[in-house]
Structures are given as structure tokens and as C-alpha cells.
Structure 1
Amino acid sequence: MAEISAVRARTVLARAFVEDPLMVWFFPDEEVRPHACAAMFGLFAEHYLADGRVDVLLRPDPVGVAMWQWPSAEAAPDTGAEELPSIGGLLTALMGVERAMEVGAAMGTLPALRPPQPHAYLHLLGIDPGSWHRGGGGELLERGLAATRDAGLVACLDTMNPANVPFYEAHGFTVHAEVQLAPDGPTSWAMATG
């Protein structure tokens, strides 16, 4: 299914999200942000390429990626072996302890907003900016949505970019909750199909 390396995936995602309100809140320094995003997204890419659903947009090289978490992955047992760096450890290294705890607490509120029934969670969907506005985001999203329908699952996501809300609504998502992540943080829209 995946036709992308973790290196290429982290680069595509860092470029796609470098101006996203959540990433701006996470990493306010404009010069550091692309590299911090790439490091963080690299860990997510490694995880999803090993144990998740990854859809890739090829033009002919990889220019887009969508990473989904399926219910079976949520229930997977913890083996006890920690791979380094962890997301929490990386964010602490990049932000400092106090800021990483603030960000972690804010992000920790989001899972409670997801549907209670088994669902597929769209964690990341990003298109390299050089390929924006050519239908690739919708193509990637529809691949994942078709798989969720085939599996009889609800699809859900969280977006912190207000420009993304109409895009997801056009693909059958509705907003179920709107929350401010922190006094100085962005707004998050919890969206789901069905």
C-alpha cells in the first residue's frame, strides 16, 4: 500500500504543515519549525509505515501522504520496549519540559472528542505545497474513506486549520466539537463521518 520512505514522508509532511496553526503554536521560531516538524513527523511516519494505513500520492514521485490509525492498532498490546526517540521525548528536547507538558496536556484532550464506536482516525494528510490545488488531497482522502466504508467504520479527524474544515465537509465530515487547545493555542475542530 505505502510507496514512500519515512524520509520522504517526513519531508512532505513538514512542508505541508510548516504554516499550520498547530505547528506554528508548537514551534513559533520560523527558522526552526521546518526541521522540528520533520523530526516529529518522521516518528509518525515510521510508526504508520510499520503499523497503520498509509496512502501515498505519486506525481510521479511521492508528493502527498495520508496516515490513518485503525481500531486494531489502538488496541495493540504494549510490548514494553521503547524505541527512541519517543514523541514526548522529542517534544521535550525541542520545546523544553514545561512547554512540552503544556502541549501534551492540550493534545491529550482530543481523544475524548472522537466517536465511541470503532473508528478509523485520520492522523495526518499532507500535500507538498508545490502540488497544492490539483485534487491530490481529495484523492488521498477518498482512498482512506473508501477503506473505512468497506470496513464498516466511522472516519474521524482533528484539524486545527480553519481552511481545512470546508474541505473535509465537502468529503462527508461534520464538525462534532470545537475546542480551544490552550489560552494561546489554536482552535481544534473534531470531525467525523456518519
Structure 2
Amino acid sequence: MGVVIRAAGVGEREQVVRLLDRAFQDDPVSGWVFPDAAHRRATHHKLMAAFVDVVLADGRVDLAEDGAACALWLSVPAGEHADEDGPVQLREAVDPGNERVELIGRLTADIHPSGRAHEYLWMIAVAPERQGEGLGTALLQSVHDRCDREGLPAYLEASSARSRKLYERLGYDPLGHPLDLPDGPQMWPMWREPRPRREA
């Protein structure tokens, strides 16, 4: 049975934020940004909300019809560079006393490729109780199919060794060196070249 995917609307913002919050509570990078578990439970959702707001304004949130999975995508033009003030504004909005909120934004912006237009997978989340059912793969494949039709590459940063292996199976290759978060885990920048379309 196929997975029905549609674009989420502004009215589904809270649903998407809750899904991201649940899916990333135990993620290594979230644990680094918010090392105190109680503070993470109280504050992590604000970071997810900030991300969703950016993507609802400038990109696309794909949502599985049953609400169990979502993917946040941005179309990045060639030569575009990150907003220098973005990480500062993010920190002020989410957790002003936590410099890691700003630092994660700066570090990922520094490694983001800018030479070619591409689709950027900012985040993908599957409800913990639904993981392993192929929902994440279906969400990715719908955008990969469009990338292949349009000749567009795709880019992401894997935040765990487990997710990195999934992305490798879906055609992503490591791009440069891993990002070593200070006193924290690694993130892996990954790039997927568009695949030639097969003639029917």
C-alpha cells in the first residue's frame, strides 16, 4: 500500500511541530544543543517551531496523509548564502541563554554547499512508534523523483550514524568531512546527484 503525501498547510503547524519534537527528542544533535534532559523537554519544541516557520514561509513541508511523518524542504538557488543574522535571531527566539542554538546554525551554514541549485532536506521525522515502516523513504522518494526529472541534486546533514546509512541507501554520498560539534556528536553532510530517467 502506497503512502499518500501532501503539502502541509499553515493550519497544520502545531501538528508538524509536535511530530518533530517527539522524533528528535533523543537525537544526538538535539541532545548536544540541549544537554539537560529536563530543559530539552521544556524547550526543544521551540526550536522545532522556528524551523517549521522558516520552511512554511520559504519552502515546503511534506506530510504523510495520516500525519505520522513529515519532511521539511527548501529550494536553494545557486550561489545563495545563509543569512548572517539568522542564527542570532534563532537563539533569541528559542533559548537566549543557550549559545549552542546559535552555534549549530552557524556551523551547518558554514558547510552548506552554495555552488549549485539544490533541494535541501532540512529535517525529516517519523513518529517513533511508526519507524521502520518505510514512511521516511516514501517522503524522500517523492522529492527525489522530482529532482531526477528536473536534474536537481539534493543535500542534507545526517544527524546520526543510523540516518546516514539510510541516506546512503537512497543515493546520497558523503560531501567533504563530517562536522564535529564541539564536545559533541558528528553530523554528516551528504549530497545526492540526480539520476538519469529511464526511458519507458
Pair in the same fold by TM > 0.5? yes
- Please tell me the residue identity of whatever aligns with 1:6: R
Distance of 1:11 and 1:73 partners within structure 2: 32
Aligned to 2:75: 70
**1:92: how far off?**
4.5
**Closer/same/farther in 2, CA of residues 74 and 23 from structure 1, 3 Å limit:** farther
Q: Which amino acid aligns with 2:142?
A: R
Deviations 1:27-80 (A, max 9, x none): 011122133221111111122123212211123xx111101110259859x9xx
Count of equivalent residues: 183
Is 1:29 aligned to 2:36, yes or no? yes
Aligned partners of 2:135 and 2:154: how far apart in 1? 19
**Alpha-carbon distance between aligned partners in 2 of 1:34 and 1:47, rounded to the nearest angstrom:** 22
Are 1:186 and 2:191 counterparts?
Answer: no
**1-structure distance, mates of 2:173, 2:29:** 20
RMSD of equivalent CA atoms: 2.7
Matches of 1:127 and 1:73, distance apart in 2 = 30
Q: CA separation of 1:46/1:91 partners in 2, compared to 1, >3 Å: closer, same or farther?
A: closer
- The equivalent position to 1:44 in structure 2, one of 51, 68, 73, is 51
- 1:74–1:32 Cα change, 3 Å: farther
Counterparts of 1:105 and 1:48 in 2: how far apart (Å)? Answer: 18
Q: Give 1:145 deviation, angstroms.
A: 1.2
Asked if 1:110 is matched to 2:117, the reply is no
1:125 Cα offset (Å):
0.4
Unaligned runs of 5+ in 1: none
Gaps of 5+ in 2: 1-5, 194-200
TM-score (norm 2): 0.80
Q: Aligned pair 1:11/2:14, yes or no?
A: no
SS at match of 1:158: strand
Q: Percent identity?
A: 26
**Distance across 1 between alignment mates of 2:102 and 2:8:** 35
Tell me which residue corresponds to 1:158. 157
Q: Is the 8 A contact 1:15 1:128 kept in 2?
A: yes
Letter in 2 for 1:171: L
Alignment match, 1:126: 125
Q: 1:142 to 1:166 in 2, by over 3 A?
A: same
Alpha-carbon distance in structure 1 between the residues aligned to 2:110 and 2:180: 8
| Residue equivalent to 1:143 | 142
Rate the CA distance shift 1:116–1:7 in 2: closer, same or farther, 3 A. Answer: same
TM (norm. structure 1) is 0.82
Note if contact 2:77-2:117 (Cα within 8 Å) is conserved in structure 1. Answer: no
**Separation in structure 1 between the aligned mates of residue 50 and residue 78 of structure 2, nearest angstrom:** 16
- Aligned partner of 1:87: which letter? L
* Contact map agreement 1:107 1:181 (CA 8 A) in 2: no
**Residue of structure 1 equivalent to 2:90:** 87
Deviation at 1:100, TM superposition (A): 4.5
Show the 5 A alignment for 1:159-178: 159-178=158-177
